C-alpha cells in the first residue's frame, strides 16, 4: 500500500498532457497568396467552430470553401477529420486519412489526433492501435525530423495508459520517451525518476512474473543511480525514497531504513529548500520518507507483539512510528500521506493506551489546514478527470469535516465523480445528502444550491434527462428561495419549449409567474406562458397572460408584436369584438408614431409585419361579425374597405390572394357581382399560381366558412355538384374535407362521390375514406360498410387502413345497435371489435391509440356495456401522457364522457380519482368547474353513503 501511494504521488507531479504537437508544415500550394490567406482563415474559423461545438457548421463552412477553391481539398481534410472525429465518425475520419499523402508530418499529426479523439470517446483500444501503429513505424527509434513528435506522443500515450490503469503498457510507452533527445538534463532526470517509480509499481503487481519483477526492480535501481549521479536535488531525494521502497519490496527493511537515515540530512536540506522557495510541501519527499520510516517501525513493532518479553522494545517502536506519522500529519498536511498518517498514528495511540496502559499525549488537531490542503488535491484530481482518485480523496476530506466553506462543492464534485464512474447509487446518495445537508443553513444555502445545480448540469451533459429532472426537482423542493431558482425554471421552460413540449414548458413559466413576480424573468415568463397556452389551444387563458405581459413592456417593437399576439388570441378565442378593438388600437399606435417602435432595422421589419397582419386580421374580424344582424352589411362593407387598404399597402403579401378572395366573396354576398368578378379576375391575373386563383369556388366557400357563414358556404360548395365536369377530383376532395370537418355530411357525401371517380389511386383512397366518413356522419352505415369493404378488398396495406378501420368499427357498431335482437346484433359488434383490433394492430401514434380507445368506449356504449365503456375512458385518463398536445383534447373528451357514466353507475370513488387526475393534469382546462363539482359531489355521496 505504501509503495502504491508513493508511485501515485510521483506520477501526479505531471498530469496534464503535453500540448498538441506543432509540426505542421505548410503544404505546398498552387494557390496565390491572398487566396491562401483566405483558405487558412476559413480553415481556422472551421476549427474554432468545432471547438465551440458547432461541427455541423464547420462542415458547411468547409463545403462552401471547397466550392470556391476546389484545389484546397488537401488542406480541408484536416478540418474534415476534426469534424468527423468530434461527431464520433471514426471510420469516415480514417478513410479521409488514407487519402492524405502518407508519411508527411501533417498526416502523422492528424493520425495521432484521431488517436486522441478515440481516447476522448473512451475507445482506448482504437487509440492504442493508432499510437502503436505510429511507434511501429520507427522500430529503431525515431529519425531526427520526427523525434520530438515521437517523444511527446510517447509521453502522452503513457499518460493515457496510466489513467486507464494499464501500468505495464504505460511503462513500455514511457521507455520510448527516453529514446528521443530530451535536450535538458532536468527533464531527463525527471523522466527517469518517473520511469523508476513506474517500474516499482509494475513490479508490485500480482500478475507480474517473479523473474520480470526482479528485472524491473533492477531497472528501477539503475535509473535511480543514474539520477543520483548527476546531481543532489529534488530528483535525488525522490530516487532515495524509491530505492528504500525497492529494498522493502526485496524484503530488506534494514537496508531501506539505512538509505533513509543515512541521507536524512540531505532529505532535510531538500525539504528546507522547497519550503524556502515557497514550493508546495506536497512536492517534498520528506513526508513520504517519514511515512516510510513510520511504516518500517510499525511493521517491526507488530512483528514483536507476540513476544510479551519484548514489550518495552515494542512500545518504543510503536512510539517511534506514531511520532513519524503525527509529524507527517502535522507538518505536511497537504501531502497525500497526511490523512493516512493521521489514521495510523491515532490507531497506534489507541492501542498504546488500551493494550499497553500507556498515556499518550496526542498533538492538537488542526483540521482546517489539512482539510484545505487535501481539498485542493481532490479538486486537482477532479479537474484532471481522475474521478476514482478524486472520489477517494473527497471521501477522506468529508470524513474529517463537512461544514467548511466549500463543503457543498466538495460533495457536489464527489457526486459528479460517481456520475462519471457510472456509480449511480453513490451518486444518488451524495446528491440527496447535498440537497438536504445545506438547505437548512443560512451561510451555505446559496453555495449548496449552486453545487446541487452543478450535479443536474452533469446529468444534462450526459443527456440523462430523467436523472437531471430529478435533481432539479430536489433543487426546487429544497432551495425554493435560491437566487437562481427563477432563472433555472426559465431555462427548463426554454428546453421544454424547444422540444415543443408546451405542457412542461408552461408548468415552468407559470411557476415563475406565480412565485417570482419581481424577478426579471417575470415578463418573459408571461410572454412564453401565453405562447404555450396559445399553442395548446387555450386561447382564453392566454389572453390574461398577454395582457399582463403588455403591461410590463413599455415600448419598442416588442410592444407592437405583443399587442398583435393579444389581438390574435381574442380572434382565435372567437371574441371578435375585443379582437377588433385590439387590432384597431395597434394600428393606431403604429400610425401615430411608427419611429417610436422602430429603433433598429430589425424593429422596422417587425413593425411592418405586424401592420400587415393586423390590417388583414382586422378586415377578417369585420367579415365575421354577425351581431346585430341588421348591421351585417355595414360590417361587410368595412371588411371590404379593410381588405382594400391591405391590398394597397401590402400587394406582395402572402396573404394578398386570400384577401382578394375574401373581397370577392364579400362583394358577392353584398350583391355586387360585377365587383366580385373583378376581384376574382385580379386574383387570377396577379396571383395566377396561388391556391385561391386555381379554385375560386373553393375560395368563396372557404371565405364564407372563415366568416362563420357555414350555411352559405354549403350552398356554394353544393354548386360544384351542379356542373361536376367543371371541377377536378382534387377540388371535390378538398371541398368535401372542409364540409366533413364542419359536419355537413349530406353535401360532403356528394362531393366525395364525385372525387372517387378519379383514376388516381392515392386520391381515390383519400376520397373513399372521406366518403365513408361522410356516410357514417349521415347515418348511412350500410353504405359506409360497403365503401370500406371495397377499399380494404383493394388496398389492404394502404396507409389509410387504420383510419378506415376506425370508422368501419363505428359503422358496424351502429348497425348492431339498430338490430332488434341481441342475436342479430352480435355479428355486427364482433365485426366492430375486429375492425378495432386491426386499428390496435397497426397504430403506433399515441393520438391514434387514444382515438381508438375513445371509439372503443363508444362501441361499448352502443352495445350497452357501460362498465366496459367507463373502463376504456379511465384507461385514457390514467395512462395517457397529457403533455402530448395532440392527445390532450382527447383526454379531456374522455373525462367529459366518463363523468356521467360514473355517476350513473354509482362509481363515486372512481369519480373522485378521475376528477382529481383531471384537475392535476388540466389546472386551467375547460372542464375545471365540472371536475370540481363532480369531485365534491362524489365525496359527499361517499360520505353520506347515498
Partner 1 sequence: MKHKFIVMGVGVLGVILATAGFAKAESVNKHDGTEVRGNKVKWFAVRQEYQVEDAEGSIITIPVDDVASVRITKPVEFDKAAQACDAKQYDVAIPILEDLISRYKRLEWDGKASELLAKACFGKGDYKKAAQVMGGIIEGTPKSLVTDDQNALYWSALLNAQMMAVLKKNLNEAIAGESRSLAALALIRRGEMNKEDGKREDAVLDFLRVILVYDDILQVQPEALYKGAKLLDEMRDPRADELKKRLTSRYSDSPYARKLGG
Which residues are near partner 1 by CB under 8 A? 41, 44-45, 48-49, 52-54, 57, 60-61, 486-487, 490-491, 494-495, 498-500, 520-521, 523-524, 593-595, 600-602, 604-605
Beta carbon of residue 619, minimum distance to partner 1 (angstroms, whole number): 23
User: Who's near 91: CB < 8 A, 6+ residues apart?
Assistant: none
If the CB atoms of residues 387 and 502 are measured against partner 1, the closer one turns out to be: 502
34-58: burial string, b at 16+ Cβ within 10 Å, e else? eebebbeebbeebeebbeeebbeeb
Query: Whose Cβ is closer to partner 1: residue 34's or residue 207's?
Result: 34
Which residues, other chains included, contact 855 with Cβ-Cβ below 8 Å and sequence gap of 6+? 806, 809, 810, 836, 839
Nearer to partner 1, 443 or 500 (CB): 500
Are 46 and 62 in contact by the 8 Å Cβ rule? The answer is yes
Q: What gap in Å lies between CA 219 and CA 334, rounded to an integer? A: 31
> Nearest CA to 714 among 680, 679, 738?
738
Nearer to partner 1, 49 or 130 (CB): 49
Contacts (Cβ under 8 Å, ≥6 apart) of 744: 710, 714, 717
Task: Please answer whether residues 171 and 202 qualify as being in contact, where contact means their C-beta atoms are separated by less than 8 angstroms.
Answer: yes
CB of 558 to partner 1, least distance (A): 9
Residue 574 DSSP one-character state: T
Closer to partner 1 by Cβ: residue 502 or 635: 502
C-alpha cell at 903: 355517476
**CB burial of residue 447 (10 Å; 0-12, 13-18, 19+):** middle
Considering the complex, what minimum distance in angstroms separates the CB of residue 596 from partner 1? 8
For partner 1, the closer of residues 311 and 514 by Cβ is 514
**Identity of the residue, 45 or 833, whose beta carbon is nearer to partner 1 in the bound complex:** 45
Residue with cell 471547438: 51
Q: How far is the CB of 446 from partner 1 (least distance, A)?
A: 17
Shortest approach of partner 1 to residue 185 CB, angstroms? 41
CB of 605 to partner 1, least distance (A): 7
Least separation in angstroms between residue 259's CB and partner 1 is 54
In the bound state with partner 1, the residue whose beta carbon lies nearer, of 494 and 681, is 494
d(CA 527, CA 509): 9
Least Å distance between CB 48 and partner 1?
4
Q: How far is the CB of 55 from partner 1 (least distance, A)?
A: 11
Using the CB atoms, write b or e for 65-102: b if 16+ within 10 Å: bbeebeebeebbbbbbbbbbbbeeebeebbebbeebee
| CB-nearer residue toward partner 1: 53 or 757 | 53
Q: Report DSSP letters for 165-185, one per residue.
A: T-HHHHHHHHHHHTTS--S-H
**What gap in Å lies between CA 552 and CA 713, rounded to an integer?**
43
Residue 144 CB, nearest approach to partner 1 (Å): 37
Asked, as a colleague might, if the bond just before 87 is cis with ω within 30 of 0, I would say no
113 vs 93: CA distance, rounded Å: 11
Smallest distance from partner 1 to CB 477, Å: 21
Q: Name the residue nearer to partner 1 (CB basis): 48 or 262.
A: 48
Nearest-angstrom CA–CA distance, 378 and 390? 5
Name the minimum Å distance from CB 525 to partner 1: 8
- For residue 57 the three cell numbers come to 457548421
Distance in Å, CB of 422 to partner 1, minimum: 24
Tally of CB atoms within 10 A around 496: 20
Residue 330 C-beta-side C-alpha neighbours within 13 Å: 12
Q: Which residues of 642-665 are buried (b: 16+ CB within 10 A; e: fewer)?
A: bbebbbeebeebebbbbbbbbbbb
Q: Residue by residue, what is the 3-state secondary structure of 30-96?
A: CCCHHHHHHHHHHHHHHHHHHHCCCHHHHHHHHHHHHHHCHHHHHHHHHHHHHHHHHCCCHHHHHHH
Our CB check for partner 1 shows the closer of 58 and 901 to be 58
Residue 503 in 3-state DSSP? Answer: helix
Minimum separation from the CB atom of position 600 to partner 1 (A): 8
| Strand extents, DSSP E, 764-822 | none
User: Among all chains, which residue has been given the C-alpha cell 489539512?
Assistant: 370
Which residues neighbour 360 within 8 Å (Cβ) at sequence distance 6 or greater?
A: 322, 349, 352, 353
Q: Which position has the grid cell 379511465?
A: 874
Which lies closer to partner 1 via its Cβ, residue 106 or residue 524? Answer: 524
Rounded least distance, CB 36 to partner 1, Å: 15
> Residue 52 or residue 940: which is nearer to partner 1 going by CB?
52
- Residue 519 near residue 485 (C-beta atoms within 8 A): no
Least distance in angstroms from the C-beta of 54 to partner 1: 6
Q: How far is the CB of 267 from partner 1 (least distance, A)?
A: 48
Nearer to partner 1, 264 or 604 (CB): 604
Measured CA to CA in angstroms, residue 232 lies from 11, 238, 243, 570, 838 at distances of: 20, 10, 15, 87, 87
Give the end-to-end CA distance of the chain in Å, rounded to a whole number: 76
Question: Which is nearer to partner 1, 62 or 351 (by Cβ)?
Answer: 62
Nearer to partner 1, 556 or 677 (CB): 556
Q: Between residues 513 and 693, which has the closer beta carbon with respect to partner 1? A: 513
Dihedral angle sign, alpha carbons of residues 774, 777, 780, 786:
positive
What nine digits make up the cell of 688?
A: 395566377
Q: How far is the CB of 101 from partner 1 (least distance, A)?
A: 29
CB nearer to partner 1: pick between 49 and 849: 49
Amino acid at each position: 500500500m505504501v509503495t502504491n501511494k508513493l508511485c501515485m504521488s510521483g506520477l501526479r507531479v505531471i498530469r496534464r498532457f503535453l500540448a498538441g504537437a506543432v509540426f505542421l508544415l505548410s503544404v505546398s500550394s498552387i494557390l496565390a497568396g491572398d487566396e491562401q490567406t483566405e483558405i487558412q482563415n476559413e480553415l481556422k474559423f472551421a476549427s474554432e467552430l468545432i471547438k465551440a461545438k458547432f461541427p455541423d457548421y464547420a462542415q458547411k463552412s468547409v463545403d462552401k470553401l471547397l466550392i470556391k477553391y476546389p484545389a484546397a481539398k488537401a488542406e480541408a481534410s484536416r478540418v474534415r477529420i476534426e469534424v468527423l472525429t468530434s461527431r464520433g465518425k471514426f471510420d469516415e475520419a480514417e478513410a479521409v486519412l488514407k487519402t492524405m499523402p502518407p508519411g508527411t508530418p501533417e498526416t502523422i499529426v492528424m493520425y495521432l489526433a484521431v488517436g486522441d479523439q478515440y481516447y476522448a470517446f473512451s475507445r482506448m483500444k482504437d487509440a492504442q492501435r493508432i499510437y502503436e501503429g505510429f511507434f511501429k513505424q520507427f522500430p529503431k527509434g525515431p529519425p531526427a525530423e520526427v523525434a520530438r513528435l515521437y517523444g511527446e506522443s510517447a509521453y502522452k500515450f503513457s499518460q493515457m495508459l496510466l489513467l486507464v490503469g494499464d501500468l505495464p503498457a504505460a511503462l513500455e510507452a514511457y521507455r520510448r520517451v527516453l529514446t528521443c533527445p530530451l535536450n535538458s538534463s532536468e527533464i531527463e532526470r525527471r523522466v527517469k525518476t518517473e520511469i523508476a517509480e513506474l517500474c516499482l509499481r509494475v513490479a508490485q503487481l500480482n500478475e507480474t512474473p517473479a523473474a520480470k519483477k526482479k528485472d524491473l526492480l533492477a531497472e528501477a535501481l539503475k535509473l535511480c543511480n543514474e539520477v543520483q549521479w548527476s546531481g543532489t536535488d529534488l530528483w535525488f531525494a525522490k530516487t532515495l525514497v524509491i530505492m528504500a521502497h525497492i529494498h522493502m519490496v526485496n524484503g530488506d527493511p534494514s537496508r531501506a531504513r539505512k538509505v533513509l537515515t543515512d541521507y536524512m540530512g540531505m532529505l532535510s536540506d531538500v525539504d528546507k529548500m522547497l519550503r524556502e522557495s515557497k514550493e508546495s510541501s506536497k512536492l517534498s519527499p520528506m513526508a513520504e520518507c517519514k511515512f516510510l520510516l513510520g511504516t518500517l517501525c510499525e511493521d517491526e513493532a507488530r512483528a514483536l507483539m507476540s513476544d510479551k518479553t519484548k514489550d518495552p522494545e515494542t512500545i518504543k517502536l510503536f512510539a517511534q512510528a506514531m511520532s513519524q506519522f503525527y509529524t507527517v500529519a502535522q507538518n505536511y498536511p497537504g501531502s497525500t500521506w497526511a490523512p493516512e498518517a493521521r489514521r495510523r498514528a491515532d490507531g497506534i495511540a489507541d492501542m498504546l493506551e488500551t493494550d499497553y496502559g500507556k498515556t499518550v499525549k496526542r498533538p492538537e488537531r488542526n483540521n482546517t489546514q489539512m482539510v484545505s490542503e487535501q481539498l485542493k488535491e481532490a479538486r486537482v484530481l477532479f479537474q484532471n478527470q481522475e474521478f476514482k482518485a478524486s472520489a477517494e480523496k473527497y471521501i477522506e476530506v468529508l470524513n474529517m469535516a463537512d461544514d467548511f466553506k466549500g463543503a457543498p462543492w466538495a460533495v457536489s464534485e464527489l457526486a459528479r465523480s460517481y456520475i462519471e464512474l457510472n456509480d449511480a447509487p453513490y451518486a444518488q446518495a451524495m446528491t440527496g445528502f447535498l440537497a438536504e445537508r445545506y438547505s437548512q443553513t443560512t451561510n451555505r444555502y446559496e453555495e449548496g444550491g449552486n453545487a446541487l445545480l452543478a450535479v443536474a448540469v452533469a446529468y444534462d451533459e450526459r443527456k440523462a434527462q430523467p436523472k437531471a429532472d430529478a435533481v432539479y426537482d430536489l433543487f426546487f423542493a429544497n432551495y425554493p428561495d435560491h437566487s437562481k431558482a427563477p432563472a433555472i425554471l426559465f431555462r427548463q421552460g426554454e428546453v421544454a419549449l424547444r422540444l415543443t413540449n408546451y405542457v412542461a414548458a408552461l408548468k415552468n413559466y407559470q411557476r415563475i409567474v406565480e412565485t417570482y413576480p419581481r424577478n426579471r424573468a417575470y415578463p418573459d415568463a408571461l410572454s412564453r406562458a401565453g405562447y404555450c397556452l396559445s399553442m395548446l389551444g387555450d386561447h382564453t387563458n392566454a389572453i390574461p397572460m398577454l395582457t399582463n405581459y403588455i403591461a410590463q413592456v413599455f415600448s419598442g417593437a416588442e410592444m407592437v408584436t405583443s399587442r398583435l399576439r393579444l389581438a390574435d388570441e381574442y380572434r382565435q378565442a372567437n371574441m371578435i369584438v375585443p379582437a377588433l378593438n385590439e387590432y384597431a388600437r395597434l394600428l393606431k399606435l403604429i400610425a401615430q408614431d411608427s419611429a417610436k417602435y422602430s429603433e433598429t432595422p430589425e424593429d422596422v421589419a417587425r413593425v411592418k409585419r405586424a401592420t400587415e397582419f393586423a390590417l388583414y386580421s382586422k378586415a377578417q374580424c369585420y367579415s365575421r361579425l354577425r351581431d346585430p344582424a341588421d348591421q351585417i352589411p355595414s360590417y361587410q362593407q368595412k371588411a371590404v374597405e379593410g381588405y382594400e387598404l391591405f391590398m394597397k399597402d401590402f400587394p406582395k403579401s402572402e396573404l394578398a390572394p386570400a384577401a382578394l378572395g375574401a373581397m370577392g366573396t364579400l362583394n358577392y354576398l353584398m350583391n355586387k357581382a360585377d365587383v366580385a368578378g373583378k376581384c376574382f379576375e385580379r386574383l387570377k391575373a396577379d396571383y395566377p399560381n396561388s391556391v385561391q386563383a386555381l379554385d375560386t369556388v373553393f375560395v368563396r366557400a372557404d371565405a364564407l366558412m372563415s366568416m362563420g357563414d357555414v350555411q352559405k358556404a354549403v350552398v356554394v360548395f353544393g354548386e360544384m355538384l351542379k356542373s361536376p365536369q367543371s371541377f377536378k377530383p382534387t377540388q371535390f376532395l378538398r371541398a368535401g374535407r372542409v364540409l366533413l370537418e364542419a359536419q355537413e355530411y349530406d353535401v360532403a357525401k356528394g362531393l366525395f362521390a364525385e372525387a372517387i371517380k378519379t383514376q388516381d389511386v392515392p386520391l381515390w383512397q383519400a376520397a373513399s375514406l372521406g366518403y365513408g366518413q361522410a356516410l357514417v356522419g349521415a347515418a348511412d352505415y350500410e353504405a359506409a360498410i360497403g365503401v370500406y369493404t371495397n377499399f380494404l378488398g383493394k388496398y389492404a396495406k394502404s396507409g389509410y387502413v387504420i383510419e378506415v378501420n376506425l370508422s368501419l368499427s363505428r359503422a358496424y357498431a351502429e348497425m348492431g345497435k339498430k338490430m332488434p335482437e341481441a342475436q342479430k346484433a352480435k355479428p355486427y359488434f364482433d365485426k366492430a371489435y375486429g375492425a378495432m383490433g386491426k386499428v390496435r394492430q397497426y397504430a403506433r401514434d399515441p393520438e391514434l391509440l387514444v382515438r381508438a380507445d375513445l371509439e372503443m368506449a363508444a362501441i361499448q356504449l352502443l352495445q350497452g356495456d357501460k362498465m366496459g365503456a367507463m373502463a376504456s375512458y379511465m384507461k385514457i385518463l390514467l395512462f395517457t401522457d397529457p403533455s402530448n398536445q395532440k392527445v390532450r383534447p382527447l383526454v379531456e373528451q374522455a373525462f367529459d364522457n366518463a363523468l356521467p357514466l360514473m355517476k350513473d353507475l354509482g362509481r363515486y370513488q372512481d369519480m373522485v380519482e378521475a376528477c382529481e387526475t383531471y384537475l392535476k393534469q388540466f389546472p386551467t382546462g375547460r372542464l375545471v368547474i365540472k371536475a370540481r363539482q363532480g369531485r365534491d359531489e362524489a365525496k359527499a355521496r361517499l360520505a353520506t353513503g347515498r
